[in-house]
Structure 1
Amino acid sequence: MAEEPDYESLSPNAGLGVNMLAGALAGITEHAVMFPVDSIKTRMQVFATSPAAVYTGIGNAFTRISSTEGMRALWRGVSSVILGAGPAHAVHFGMYEAMKELAGGNEESNRNQWIATSLAGASATIASDALMNPFDVIKQRMQVHQSEFRSVFTCARVVHQTEGLSAFYVSYPTTLMMSVPFTAVQFTVYEQIKKLMNPSGEYSPVTHMVAGGLSGGVAAGVTTPLDVAKTLLQTRGSSQDPEIRKVGGMVDAFRIIWQRDGMKGFSRGLSPRVLTFMPSNALCWLSYEFFKAAIRE
């Protein structure tokens, strides 16, 4: 009987193919499981003109959406996430591990490992968001109240025909301004908590879940204001508000949020966002570390 490989004896960098495949599987798992909460977050962040589309909290949104539109409405747009999350997360984790190795983040003697980890995390998100942004736009167009779209491809075609290719990337600068600090914070907090809880470096599902959940919650809370602006930009074409339909970028989005809701406007969807990212990040890191170990073995 062949001896089972020791997790600790394997190289921290398992190779680009393993990291990308593990990242793709982890990304699909993460987004699919937490999608209904993400749908509620999108609904709460949209500046709606109809009182029927204004939600006061997670429970209020869940009850009203499920009772008036059916539970299926909470899953509308999930196919866009599945299509995009696989390749985007593959690139994300592949870039992260490659940059971390290149910057010396896997060297125990390196006293500046956190710098290497932050650099790797930021590089990973720049690359993955370039792939994911169009899918995220389609997802949110399908998630909004009374969305006309039921098909990913129909949504993509209509948005392209009516608003042009730029509609898929108008939020990209805002997404990067949100995702780069989000990812840098997430990876840094994750690595520090993981080392604190599991200094031996052994495969530990509990460690990956706790470190992943806490790092996701912290990063989500810090970047929520930018996420509100991103949602406004990505759903502008579905809005009945003339001013929102003409919004041209992040500065315009911030101005509208401030004028209409003040400081509290920048915390729209904070609760469902944190509630989404804590378990989804825990699941993502648990899945990633599991798939990485399983594929290597």
Structure 2
Amino acid sequence: MARKPGGFLQEASHQVAAGGSAGLVEICLMHPLDVVKTRFQIQRGKTDPTGYKSLGDCFRTIFQREGLLGFYKGILPPILAETPKRAVKFFTFEQYKKLLGYASLPPGLAFAIAGLGSGLTEAVVVNPFEVVKVTLQANRNAFTEQPSSFVQARQIIKTDGLGFQGLNKGLTATLGRHGVFNMVYFGFYFNVKNILPINKDPNLEFLRKFGIGLVSGTIASIINIPFDVAKSRIQGPQPVPGEIKYRTCFKTMATVYKEEGFLALYKGLIPKIMRLGPGGAVMLLVYEYVYAWLQDTVGHK
């Protein structure tokens, strides 16, 4: 898109506002699937007495034992995080893409590298919120009986501090999860969107973008989920209270693979795809339409 009057600060503010809007809309629509994904990922094999038999069993059990609000456990940290997180995601992607334009890289590679950079930056911002969110989502008490997000955060800080055993534990896994996801997500979306011809019909053009975004989110989810599983194990409750079994990203992956098999690294894949397939499309579309609207309206004032 061509830069409108107002310079860098106005353009940056539009990117931040559009990215924040994309994150807020996506989390409000898709959070229940994130709760289900986390529950599957923290299960420790078939012998786990608290395990779920299937995706349907997980939905049914959460609803029966924890009520409808059980699907919205841990939603406040994502709401507080998603606006700045997605703002950082899209703003830094645009900036990395601009910087890479001076490196004479092929456009396809530039999109992927810019996505990787935005994902790594996003991970640093969001990781403390992820620690609180996963801790709350793993809590199987009724929604009204669990601590608030702020109480949970204070408890984590009081018990384990702000470091890699406390509010920033699992940072390496989060870096891997977001870096890989955004590299594939942005790389695939913008490359394919530039290849497939634009449709003059607004409805068909919307479907074209949504379809590309859906595939982008799905492929990225499949590729990055081992990092997601490792993150959930590290940030979630440990098998034996007081003992840390899952400590580092790649060691956790190796432990899960050794004890539970290869497919255990893909636990929660179906709810993840159900969330980040359409959710990924929603984010890209909200970002593009809000950004274009801001450029066309505010930019001309």
TM range (shorter): 0.7 to 0.9
Deviation at 1:53, TM superposition (A): 2.6
Pairing 1:294–2:290 present: no
Matched, 1:45 2:46: no
Secondary structure, aligned partner of 1:53: coil
CA-CA distance at 1:197 after TM superposition: 2.8
CA contact (8 A) 1:43 1:145 kept: no
* Alpha-carbon separation, structure 2, partners of 1:170 and 1:100: 30
| CA RMSD of superposed structures (Å) | 2.6
- 2-side partners of 1:111 and 1:251: how far apart? 31
Displacement of 1:242 after TM fit?
4.7
Q: Does 1:129 align with 2:129?
A: no
User: What does 1:68-217 align with in structure 2 at a 5 Å threshold?
Assistant: 68-104=65-101, 112-146=106-140, 149-166=146-163, 167-199=166-198, 204-217=205-218
- TM-score, scaled to structure 1: 0.87
Aligned length: 284
AA partner of residue 161 (structure 2): G
Matching of residues 51-70 of structure 1 within 5 Å:
53-70=50-67
The 1:151/1:184 distance shift into structure 2, 3 A limit, reads same
Percent identity over the alignment is 26
Q: What secondary structure does 1:15 align onto?
A: helix
* Structure 2: 5+ residue stretches without partners: 297-301
In the alignment, is the contact (CA less than 8 A) between 2:3 and 2:11 conserved in 1? no
In the TM superposition, what whole-angstrom CA distance separates every residue of 1:173-229 from its partner, at most 9, and x where no partner exists? Answer: 111122212111111110122123345899742232111111000000011111111
Tell me: CA distance 1:255–1:23, structure 2 relative to 1, closer, same or farther (3 Å). same
Matched residue of 2:273: which SS? helix
Q: Work out whether residues 23 and 288 of structure 1, in 8 Å CA contact, stay in contact via their aligned partners in 2.
A: yes
Which residue identity is paired with 1:160? Answer: I
CA distance in 1, matches of 2:235, 2:55: 21
> C-alpha distance in 2, partners of 1:9/1:227?
36
Could you tell me the TM-score, scaled by structure 2's length?
0.86
Equivalent residues of 1:149, 1:155 under 8 A apart: no
Deviation per residue, 1:18-73 (Å, 9 max, x gap): 11110011011112210001100000011359855311322111011101211111
User: In 2, Cα distance between the equivalents of 1:116 and 1:201?
Assistant: 28
**Structure 1 residue 230 corresponds to structure 2 residue 237:** no
What letter corresponds to residue 75 of structure 2 in structure 1? V
* Counterpart Cα distance in 1 of 2:184 and 2:196: 18
Distance (Å, rounded) in 1 between the aligned partners of 2:106 and 2:199: 19
**CA distance 1:62–1:248, shift in 2 (3 Å):** same
The Cα offsets for residues 133-155 of structure 1, whole Å up to 9 and x where unpaired, read as 11111111111142574311001
Q: Secondary structure at the match of 1:86?
A: helix
163-172 vs 74-83, greater mean Cα deviation: 163-172
Match of 1:275 in 2: 274
After TM superposition, the structure 1 stretch with the greater mean CA deviation from structure 2, 239-248 or 185-194, is 239-248
CA gap of 1:233–1:195, structure 2 versus 1, over 3 A, is: same
Residues 53 and 201 (structure 1), Cα distance of their counterparts in 2 relative to 1, 3 Å cut: farther
Partner in structure 2 of residue 259 of structure 1? 258
Task: Tell me, in whole angstroms, the C-alpha distance in 1 between the residues paired with 2:243 and 2:287.
Answer: 38
| Residue identity opposite 1:54 in structure 2 | G
User: In the aligned structure 2, how far is the partner of 1:264 from the partner of 1:244?
Assistant: 25
Unaligned runs of 5+ in 1: 1-7
Match of 1:22 in 2: 18
Q: Tell me the SS of whatever aligns to 2:147.
A: coil
